[in-house]
Structure 1
Amino acid sequence: MAVKALVAAVLPPLWSNRVLPALGLDIRGRTAANTGFAAAYTLVFRGAPNWLSPRGLRAGAIAAGLVVSGYAAALAVPATRRHLAGLDDRGPAVHTVEWTALHIPGGTVLTEELVYRSTLTPLLEQAAGAAGTGLGAFVFGLSHIQPARAAADPIAATVAITGIAGLVFDRLRRDTGSATAPALLHLALNAGGALAPRLARRLVGGRR
């Protein structure tokens, strides 16, 4: 079990930080490649997302609703709306609808919830007990090193923030027995973060 957990922990950051960037794919290719990797990883390591859990759906809907409400409040307040409008547009070279309807839910949320919450963290918890949760969140953070470097974001801060988010996602998964709750929260955070600045620019009369 320890060897299996070690191998399972090494593969996701290796994929995200080395293999995937080396392929030189555009965003559509990355989404397809990520989906294939996540499906194979979940199959090999016997992940169990339990997507249809009613408890997971309820908890995820509540968590996502709170996040969406927060974004809506930020857009409604002039000061925060102007701040959002002033952020750099760091979206990929695809239409906003494609980005938020396909690449964020499929290429990011689905793949990461399959790999981490459905598979890796439960496996690490079996091998290391409660410490496995922290290890899973840490690996989740490490997997964002190359994306942070590519976006010129501070690597240490990105790893820390992503790791903390991983702990929250894992808590939802553990409390509901399903990856659905963290997936819905993850989707609300990422899609809201993509849409809010663009909506703010429209509201203040700026560029899209």
Structure 2
Amino acid sequence: MIRPDNATRVRSMVLLAAVVAALVAINLTAHLAGSPVAVLAVPLGAVIVVGVARLVGLQWREMGLSRAELRSGVPYALAAVVAVFGIVTVAVAIPATRQFFLSDRFDSATAALFAALVTIPLQTVLPEELLFRGVLQGSLGRLFGVRTTLSLGAAAFGLWHVGSSMGLTEGNEGLRSVLGSGAIGQVLGIAGAVAATTAAGFVFGWLRHRTTSLLAPIALHWALNATGAVGAAVAWHLPS
């Protein structure tokens, strides 16, 4: 007979395995399926995963989504947005760092603003935070301590970005000049992107843990991505 505490641990392990499997499936669908399935895979997948996780017992507070948790994250969210906008403004103003913002995807103000206000929050930031700092971190927290939870969550977030990093150096003038444009440059670009997003995932996870709120990492994640897009549009129109 399985003791109650062992049965709870088994259920938590099954939940974690199911979440990881769902993340893999969503990621593969987003990068291998054709439109519109690929476009909807991450946001729709996030809604389904959150709903199923809640149905099987993961609490809103464990995902940083209860009303109290969301309120507690407001000051941190505002501080994160202000800090990132300030840092990016300075980086774009300096010619030495400006080149790293020269992404072909955002060479027009219209494309950058649409991405910052629509695509990035709805297709990237909100679903990824729900999946990783919400459901995955909540599931990991049932089984592991804080350090292991944050480390595993960060590693998963880094690996999540392998597919989206394909061709990264080809579309960024600054990275291409540093890493090169061949196969080696592409591999280095992917490795760099995975390392950077792993580090970012750790920071997002720590912020989620520190504030108990999903709102804070959402704000920081959005600020980083949105200022990157807007910064790119501005950088293209400044002297090199």
**After superposition, where does 1:95-174 map in structure 2 within 5 Å?**
95-130=111-146, 131-151=148-168, 152=186, 154-174=189-209
Q: Provide the C-alpha distance between the structure 2 equivalents of 1:30 and 1:101, rounded to a whole number of angstroms.
A: 20
State the SS of the aligned residue for 1:178.
Answer: coil
Structure 2 spans left out of the alignment, 5+ residues: 1-11, 55-59, 169-185
State the SS of the aligned residue for 2:213.
Answer: coil
Task: Return the match for 1:64 from 52, 68, 81.
Answer: 81
**After superposition, where does 1:5-44 map in structure 2 within 5 Å?**
5-16=16-27, 18-25=28-35, 30-44=38-52
**TM-score w.r.t. structure 2 length?**
0.74
| 1:137-165 Cα shifts (integer Å, max 9, x gaps) | 11111111111125346333222211111
Q: Provide the C-alpha distance between the structure 2 equivalents of 1:136 and 1:182, rounded to a whole number of angstroms.
A: 13
Task: State the AA in 1 paired with 2:128.
Answer: E
Q: Provide the C-alpha distance between the structure 1 equivalents of 2:190 and 2:29, rounded to a whole number of angstroms.
A: 19
Counterparts in 2 of 1:118 and 1:37: CA distance versus 1, 3 Å: same
Contact 1:51/1:180 (<8 A) preserved: no
Task: State the AA in 2 paired with 1:4.
Answer: L
Task: State the AA in 2 paired with 1:172.
Answer: L
Considering only CA atoms, is the larger Rg found in Structure 1 or Structure 2? Answer: 2
Contact 2:107/2:232 (<8 A) preserved: no
Deviation of 1:91 (Å): 4.2
Q: Provide the C-alpha distance between the structure 2 equivalents of 1:177 and 1:88, rounded to a whole number of angstroms.
A: 34
**After superposition, where does 1:178-193 map in structure 2 within 5 Å?**
178-193=213-228
Contact 2:106/2:232 (<8 A) preserved: no
Counterparts in 2 of 1:9 and 1:123: CA distance versus 1, 3 Å: same
State the SS of the aligned residue for 1:135.
Answer: helix
Deviation of 1:134 (Å): 1.2
Contact 1:13/1:142 (<8 A) preserved: no
* Percent of residue pairs identical: 31
> RMSD of the TM alignment (CA)?
2.4
**TM-score w.r.t. structure 1 length?**
0.85
Deviation of 1:114 (Å): 0.5
Counterparts in 2 of 1:62 and 1:8: CA distance versus 1, 3 Å: same
Contact 2:125/2:222 (<8 A) preserved: yes
Aligned partner of 2:177 in structure 1 is none
Counterparts in 2 of 1:23 and 1:195: CA distance versus 1, 3 Å: same
Counterparts in 2 of 1:143 and 1:92: CA distance versus 1, 3 Å: farther
